[in-house]
Amino acid sequence: MTAQQTHTPKVVLDTNPATGTAVAELNETDLATLGERMAKARQAQAVWAAKSFKERARHIRMMRSYIVDRAEDLARTVSESNGKTLTDALATEVLPCALACQWYSKNAEKALKPRMRPTGSLLFFNKRTQMMRVPLGVVGIISPWNYPLSIPFGEIVMGLMAGNAILLKVAAATPSVGRAIEQIIAAGELPEGLFQHIVGSGSKVATGFFENGIDKLFFTGSVPAGKTLMAQAADTLTPVSLELGGNDPMIVLDDADLERATNGAAWAGYQNAGQSCGGVERVYVVEAVYDAFVDMLAKKTRQLRHGVGCKGFDVDIGSLTTAGQLRTVQQHLEDALAKGARIEAQSRPVGDVDNGFFFPATLLTNVNNDMLTMCDETFGPIIAVQKVANEEEALQRANDSNLALTSSVWTRDRKRGRALAARLESGVTTINDHLYSHGLSEAPWGGWKESGIGRTHGFEGLEEMSQAKMVNWDLLPAKRNLWWYPFDQATYKGLLNALRFAFPAGAGQWLSASLKLTPFLLGKMFSKWKTGD
């Protein structure tokens, strides 16, 4: 018997983090088969890449129909595996997947079709250039547990519409969502092997991807893990797209609509139990409206309910997804309180919260820059609010971070908001809103600094899923270019006249260079090389 036949797969258990009960069991992938899987993916990719955008779109629309028909089942799967509420799962996971199918199936050709490049100089009047976007080949995706459905699925659709094969590895904490993705993809009736779901350790799978020649890796996760993957990728110069952490600021100006601002802060800070890399963590409020803002947000925080989100609709905030993340959030709160922070308000529990990884929505004030929650990513339902003198101080504090994923400005003056948004150091800035833009398929997503490199979503995301290729040709049946052999004094003077023709000191020099260059060009381009044979 072969080693593959005697391999006993390890069972991976998916446990509901809100209740502690088992959700599903999956077999871990035998990573010794990655080479075979890669070969199968390449065969399928060659078939898939030959299809037109219209043909690919037909398969993607079949997936969209499956998502719409089974929206409630998918929301429940996400809720039970991740811990978020059913409403949250439907709004931020299922709906964006359907939107992604629609947008990419309609716009991929527009983004990736060949384009002619304008001629740059009269010296090259006979040359034409076309820019093409060609598939990468086999793309690896390693996705996180905070949005286990919508993050990888959007990337899968981008990759497929660009003509690639996909190897997906979902987070170890949410493997049953990976199985749900398998079922969605199956509804699209793709060539066998074009999409494959790998179950196993993220670091081992990544190593396997690199060893077996993955053409590009898309990773969403922590900064340290992203740096490790980038270092690994350097050995083979494998391109990577990294969407890493965030410690996102929200700036509230003195003319802000405080009702909307506090509603937005509550949602973007506490949603998904705060486990959004683009969620609100730091809020800088101009002192003229600081007290009113804190009072309003505190009242709304106290009205929120945390509890088991998969059992009904009387809960606003579900549980955190892992025990490790719960410890991190607890550590950040303890650190803040030890350094002088004050808890202004917290959400109230509903039902049995003793068996899950629950943490109340927490509003902090009296914070300073030495606290972990202000200088590091908390990734939990804590909003820290700091008073600032004016928008310039708010801007300085917001930009004082090694993370730069998203940010937001809240003001009734849109011109003022756009001006301040342009100065914020982040890949995404929204005005009078926060976090939602990840659900816009047309809007690029990604950050600066240690928040990552590359972009997903939109035209930029489709381009990341392809290679740039330039094709250039000659309009004339010329025998030689101006600068080709054989060299002689005439060649030298011809090049000199070409330079003066392109960049003349005056009309006289241009006319003189033109008269000398034309016969030389015709002779060089259309005469045979005299070899003396």
What is the mean pLDDT of the segment spanning 468-493? 94
pLDDT at 8: 78
Sign of the CA dihedral running 47, 49, 55, 58? positive
Over pLDDT 70: what percentage of the chain? 98
Cα 353 from Cα 456, distance rounded (Å): 36
Average pLDDT, the chain: 96
pLDDT at 3: 44
Cα 351 from Cα 310, distance rounded (Å): 12
Q: Is the pLDDT of residue 244 over 70?
A: yes
In SS3 terms, 267-320 reads as HHHHHHHHCCCCCEEEEEEEHHHHHHHHHHHHHHHHHCEECCCCCCCCCCECCC
* Span of 7-16, 217-226, 348-357, 403-412 with lowest mean pLDDT: 7-16
Q: Is the pLDDT of residue 4 over 80?
A: no
Cα 245 from Cα 404, distance rounded (Å): 8
- Cα of 433 vs its chain's centroid, Å: 19
- Cα of 496 vs its chain's centroid, Å: 49
**Catalytic residue, candidates 155, 243, 450, 464:** 243
**Residue 415's CB: how many other CB atoms inside 10 A?**
8
What is the mean pLDDT of the segment spanning 324-349? 98
What is the mean pLDDT of the segment spanning 230-244? 97
Enclosing H/E stretch for 505 = none
pLDDT at 337: 98
Cα 310 from Cα 358, distance rounded (Å): 14
Residue 273 backbone class (left: φ over 0; alpha: ψ -120 to 50; beta: rest): left
Over pLDDT 90: what percentage of the chain? 94
Determine the longest span between alpha carbons in the chain, in angstroms.
Answer: 97
pLDDT for 344-379, tens place per residue? 999 999 999 999 999 999 999 999 999 999 999 999
Cβ(269)–Cβ(245) under 8 Å?
Answer: no
**Residue 489's CB: how many other CB atoms inside 10 A?**
7
- Cα of 182 vs its chain's centroid, Å: 21
Q: Is the pTM of this model over 0.85?
A: yes
Q: How close are the terminal C-alpha atoms of the chain, in Å?
A: 69
pLDDT at 2: 45
pLDDT for 256-279, tens place per residue? 999 999 999 999 999 999 999 999
pLDDT for 427-477, tens place per residue? 999 999 999 999 999 999 999 999 999 999 999 999 999 999 999 999 999
pLDDT for 87-136, tens place per residue? 999 999 999 999 999 999 999 999 999 999 999 999 999 999 999 999 99
Cβ(405)–Cβ(453) under 8 Å?
Answer: no
What is the mean pLDDT of the segment spanning 50-72? 98
Q: List the domains of the chain with CATH numbers.
A: 3-117+128-244+460-470 (3.40.605.10), 248-438 (3.40.309.10), 495-533 (no CATH)
Nearest to 261 by CA among 284, 245, 244: 284
Cα 207 from Cα 80, distance rounded (Å): 30
Here the tokens at position 478 are: 């010329």
Cα 484 from Cα 306, distance rounded (Å): 75
243 is catalytic: yes
- Cα of 39 vs its chain's centroid, Å: 27
Q: Is the pLDDT of residue 1 over 50?
A: no
Alpha helices in 388-471 (DSSP H): 391-399, 414-421, 458-464
